Amino acid sequence: RSRRPRGRTRGDGAGARAAAAGGPRERGGGAELPAGAGPEAAGAAGGAEIKESASQTRDVLKQHFNDLKGTLGKLLDERLVTLLQEVDTIEQETIKPLDDCQKLIEHGVNTAEDLVQEGEIAILGGVGEQKEKLWSFTKKALHIQLDSLPEVPLLVDVPCLSAQLDDSILNIVKDHIFKHGTVASRPPVQIEELIEKPGGIIVRWCKVDDDFTAQDYRLQFRKCTSNHFEDVYVGSETEFIVLHIDPNVDYQFRVCARGDGRQEWSPWSVPQIGHSTLVPHEWTAGFEGYSLSSRRNIALRNDSESSGVLYSSAPTYFCGQTLTFREGLIDDILRVETVGQPDRRDSIGVCAERQNGYDSLQRDQAVCISTNGAVFVNGKEMTNQLPAVTSGSTVTFDIEAVTLGSTNNNEGGNFKLRVTISSNNREVVFDWLLDQSCGSLYFGCSFFYPGWKVLVF
């Protein structure tokens, strides 16, 4: 049987998976357009959207091109320093042999001049003194090689430095600059629907440009009091549940898309405001057999020998909603993350009231599914079964009020609820009879062996 109950989404679970926030810088924005606004309000909001988005787009363009100029200037300076260092290196390596040669030549010339001067003095002296000076002159002349010079490089072998600069780079850069950046006025996607959930909001979006082929979508959100949007989802699905939403707090959501084969993102959609009035689901703290996370939304069956049913801290599940035990993150969810050894007394389900002293929800005033797939209604096992609960299984409870007052049957109870339990593309539908009207219900679980871990939201 196929149903689509009120306030519920279907699918394989890939369309709504939670993720941590945080991402790249923003590329524009806009004013929010409240849902259901009249023509005048819509016109005013539209005008505000144009002005605000235009202003933000100007700021983004100015900042981007200022950053680009700074980066290009830095790159050019770095290249200039590299080339100047290369000039210095070539100059130092090639000038040294010539300097050494020049020093040798100057030293030889100076030595020759001194020797000639010494010979002239010897000639002009007396006979005795002349003989001694000529002997000294001759001795020095024999030991000094005045006709030996270092090898001097040919002029054609001497380096001559020059700068080789290709002016065509200006045309290349100019061409890229003139094509860099575009201004788009119509985003190809818009937010279609916001659905409140306990502690979360499901965001759905759709394409509004039939000629645009989307490869990925990017969803951001922020509190209305914040100036910074955060990435919360990037992927190919068109819906996502944003978790850890504070009750009765307004949030803004916006989405953009990336075209097939493209790197850049499209303009942002018009931001939409949403909030959840539903209190987040929490497990009851202090139960000996289970360890809870700091948010009390994750329960782990520990090694304690204590047994019993772990209930929600309050009756936060309301008829007409959908409660889901599943791997994917759509609707009100209890997600079985890890599993331990199964036991036929295990149970996951809902009940009219918390009753201590029971080891399982397989009792009166409760409906549940065991980890082996057996379905129990008021403690009685049904003939139809569902697939066994394993890590990644999905079990969905959808409950709606059918009648109020007395029922014309002999089954007892005067309040009837229509219950649909679904798991792995199979479902069972039955009527659940209660002793009294019950607008809200508790959810709970019980496991007899450690290792079971359940996330609720």
Per-residue pLDDT reduced to its tens digit, 175-216: 889 888 877 777 899 999 999 988 889 999 999 988 889 999
**In percent, how much of the chain has pLDDT > 90?**
41
Rounded distance between C-alpha atoms, residue 112 and residue 109, angstroms? 5
Rounded distance between C-alpha atoms, residue 195 and residue 69, angstroms? 45
Residue 389 predicted with pLDDT over 60 = yes
Cβ atoms of 255 and 205 within 8 Å: the answer is: yes
Average confidence (pLDDT) over 335-355: 87
pLDDT of 329 reads 32
Q: Which of 85-89, 127-131, 321-325 has the lowest mean pLDDT?
A: 127-131
Residue 29 predicted with pLDDT over 80 = no
SS3 20: coil
Residue 446 predicted with pLDDT over 50 = yes
Kindly list the distances between the CA atom of residue 386 and the CA atoms of 11, 21, 69, 371, 417, in Å, as whole numbers in the listed order: 18, 36, 64, 10, 20
Average confidence (pLDDT) over 254-258: 94
Q: Which of 62-76, 114-128, 280-294 has the lowest mean pLDDT?
A: 114-128
Average confidence (pLDDT) over 77-102: 87
Q: Which of 17-26, 38-47, 230-239 has the lowest mean pLDDT?
A: 17-26
**In percent, how much of the chain has pLDDT > 70?**
81
Neighbouring-strand partners of residue 445: 310, 348
Strands 214-223 and 251-259 turn out to be antiparallel
Cβ atoms of 121 and 132 within 8 Å: the answer is: no
pLDDT of 34 reads 46
Cβ atoms of 98 and 66 within 8 Å: the answer is: no
Average confidence (pLDDT) over 336-340: 75
Cβ atoms of 15 and 239 within 8 Å: the answer is: yes
Residue 331 predicted with pLDDT over 70 = no
pLDDT of 41 reads 60
Average confidence (pLDDT) over 222-234: 94
Please write the tens of the pLDDT for every residue from 408-427. 544 555 789 999 999 888 99
Rounded distance between C-alpha atoms, residue 444 and residue 281, angstroms? 11
Computed over every residue of the chain, the mean pLDDT equals 81
* Of 392 and 114, the one with more pLDDT: 114
- If we measure between CA atoms, which residue out of 367, 349, 353 comes closest to residue 432? 367
pLDDT of 39 reads 61
pTM: 0.59
Kindly list the distances between the CA atom of residue 109 and the CA atoms of 148, 198, 260, in Å, as whole numbers in the listed order: 11, 100, 80
pLDDT of 83 reads 93
Residue 6 predicted with pLDDT over 80 = no
pLDDT of 358 reads 94
pLDDT of 300 reads 92
pLDDT of 392 reads 73
Residue 1 predicted with pLDDT over 50 = no
